[in-house]
Structure 1
Amino acid sequence: MTFTRFAGFGAMTAVALTMSALAAEAKDWRGWNIHVEDYPVSHGMEAFMAEVTEKTDGAIKGKTFHAGVLGSQPDAIEQVRLGIIDFGVFSLGPMGQAVPETNVVSLPFIFKSVPQMYELMDGEAGAAVSAGLEAKGIVALGYYDAGARSFYNGTKPINTPDDVTGMKVRVMNNDLFVGMIEAMGGNATPMAFAEVYQSLKTGVVDGAENNPPSYESTSHFEVAKYYSLSEHLIIPECLCMSKKTFDALTPEQQEIVRAAGKASTDLQRGLWQEREAASMKIVQDGGVEVNTIEDKSAFQAAMAPVYEQYLAANPDMTDLVNLFRNAE
């Protein structure tokens, strides 16, 4: 009887110690996000964390901090590399300083369409970008849709590169984007995003470029009634996590995290497409003339000087650029 009680006590103690060990190993992750809480990216991140918590039976918990409250993107990228922040969603555009491979997706017309971007980033080309990220301490779990940037102006539809000739076009402050406009004979005008509406209204610039939700939510469509679907820049965002955090997981947990990343990516892409459709309806109902550029080959050919300059400065990126450009 005494032995039975002792055995029972021993079993209970073992369970208690096991539970205590699990509690000690439980992880509380922090996630960085620049976007507001009600946004496709934000919903994707929340779903990711929820699935990881559920599938690990609560061993991994965490919180996504929205609206950039954990700092700027450059700072957050560095903190992810160091393992201070566990995961985040980052635009690949500004990641080039830390990860050269990510600059390739900022080349104009590198993607022929958004569906092609999905296919390439989910395949061999995306794997090459992911390898570059991992070499810098970042594990890519999926590539979110951040939309396609297209031209808008208050003068005329744009159907060919020649239609941009002579236009003053606001662009982001990046030599690649300045070169893109200049290659079409336009005058690139880098300026702060907050200044674009007034500059369009007063004629400081003739046009600008952005994705449909940005074009709509900023009311730019009210002062630039021609929206031409050039889709010249399709720069995905990366659902990334710290390699230090990832490497500390068990193999089973790593599988759960990767599966949750894939599910989150699929969810976010669907939500983004819904958001884009809603924005397009608003601008068209507002009197915007929208034209689709079915054949982008003339635009791609016009980008030859941009690519030549980029590859001259980054010859080690030649194979990766060709992998993207030669894809069907």
Structure 2
Amino acid sequence: MNELENKIIKFIKKHELIQDKSKIVLGLSGGPDSVFLLHILSKLKQEGLIQEIIAAHLDHGWREESAKEAKFCLELAKKYNITCEVRKLSELELNLKFEGSKEDLGRKARRHLFELIKEKYNYDLIALAHHAQDQEETFFIRLIRGTSLSGLTSIKPKSGDYIRPLLEINKQEILEFLNSHGILYVTDPSNISHEFLRNRIRELVIPALKKCDARFEQNFKITINRLQETEFFLEQLTKEKFNEISTEISGIFYLNLNQLFKLHNIMLYRVLIYWLIKQNVKFPTGQSFLDEIIKFLAQPESQGPKEHALYQNWSIIKKKNLAHINIK
């Protein structure tokens, strides 16, 4: 193991990303980042930390090169003696709405595929090749579009079954490693197109910040770590407050409305989101949606409806100062 590989191992251990004998689905695009991650995971497999790796590649069919990239991934996986599952976007049964961002649609489709493969083979984790510059770009995308503190924490090393072992590795380090070891990869021409906000931030904003102050990358990393620590503290506090004001009966969580509205507004919003997540219902993430819930819950029972249908297949029912979610 060289210095860069040891740095990644240290990051994995620090954040407890991989347990012994884990089985991992790798999102493989064929680009330098995911090819490098394949190399790292293969090394970990040789060391005995990982039991199995399977690669998953989605052929969007949006560019002429996509079929060649799918073939490249199949051949690369064969060299590493692992299976590579390739699917075309048209083959997936998806119920996704196009909301103006092809990048976002592609991301959701890829995640759908990765989760299908994980379930098919009964694997443990899904590894993605996000690196330090992806972290920077995501921060500014969310800042521009508007977000919460949670959103500004950007990409976490682990979220659910997803792990990101390269999150503190710079893109330049990845390219230098691959080139020096003669490891081939494909280049996506859409990554330099200014049609996408992420690319405009990469090409215009980040270089300007580095020019303003050479300490940008180092201080950005420190700031993100502080934000993530703060968010983790608030997540734990939210769980505590939720447990204090809720009662579980047969898997349904009932909120005490008097206690709910004694919370600070910030904590009130967080508790509501946690409640929706605990009940495993789909919901939009906008502020207006949460405001609508609060308006309904705050209205006296004698002055309005006792049930409010808010989203697909579920509603909120309030009775005798308690509120619960009814899944239809």
Fold shared, TM-score > 0.5 on shorter chain: no
**Range into which the TM-score falls when normalised by the shorter chain:** under 0.3
Using the size of structure 1 for normalisation, the TM-score is 0.24
Between the two structures, name the one with larger relative contact order (CA 8 Å, sep ≥ 6): 1
Using the size of structure 2 for normalisation, the TM-score is 0.24
- Say which one has the larger Rg: 1
